[in-house]
Chain A
Amino acid sequence: NAGVTQTPKFRILKIGQSMTLQCTQDMNHNYMYWYRQDPGMGLKLIYYSVGAGITDKGEVPNGYNVSRSTTEDFPLRLELAAPSQTSVYFCASSDIGGRAQETQYFGPGTRLLVL
């Protein structure tokens, strides 16, 4: 059981470029999340999904897009990268109901540098 996996681990982008951060979970969880973590800050929610085909905005969605075509995958798309998107991005997943719903499992993160 690999849990939550993310690729790439690290990426440098030029301003205006685009890229997709990949996230896959093998726990058959319905809920998936994208967070960003800036230096010295807690994690902030970008987007989340409660199941295939259903996504919703979090606290800081501007500049990002998501899709959820399968239960396992939840890619995050950056269009027109800006220096303000330099951050560490974490994907997380959780199951439905009770404590399982509140226990989010995190991936190892993707470090993104926009220059």
Chain B
Amino acid sequence: QKEVEQDPGPLSVPEGAIVSLNCTYSNSAFQYFMWYRQYSRKGPELLMYTYSSGNKEDGRFTAQVDKSSKYISLFIRDSQPSDSATYLCATHRGGADGLTFGKGTHLIIQP
């Protein structure tokens, strides 16, 4: 079982729709949860960061973590064509360890 599972998609939705992206993880030691956005041929850029369980909102983006079910979500409201990208969930135990990434979900917002 991979440590972080993420459906690679592609996920195609019309402009203005609410997008739901999800990941599951298996290691209870993970304490920090992130969502990165990656445009084609670019490096990942941090979108959202959450410590432990709970919700975090930033503009049109909301990140949710449920540690009891080991479930990570990212919601995008009023989706825009510029949101079309690959979204990578990542987790971290803390300290100097590197991030553990899901495969990424390719999101397409249709104008």
Contact = CB atoms under 8 A, between A and B. Distances in A.
B49 A43 contact: no
Contact of B46 (A35, A104, A109): A104
Interface stretch (B13-21, B58-66, B69-77, B99-107): B99-107
A45 to B, nearest CB: 4
Residue in A40, A43, A48, A50 with the greatest tally of chain B CB atoms within 10 Å: A43
B101 A43 contact: yes
A35 B45 contact: no
Contacts of A56: 96
Interface in B33-92: 34, 36, 41-46, 49, 51, 88, 90, 92
Given A48-B96, A106-B44, A109-B43, A41 B32 contact: no
Nearest to A99: B49
B24 to A, nearest CB: 14
Contact of A99 (B45, B51, B100, B102): B51
A103 B47 CA distance: 10
A50 B101 CA distance: 20
B4 interface: yes
Contact of B96 (A31, A103, A105): A31
A58 B98 contact: yes
A33 interface: yes
A108 interface: yes
Contacts of A101: 94-96
Contacts of A103: 46, 49
Contacts of B96: 31, 48, 50, 56, 101
Interface in A90-115: 90, 99, 101-109
Interface of A: 4, 31, 33, 35, 40-45, 48, 50, 56, 58-59, 90, 99, 101-109
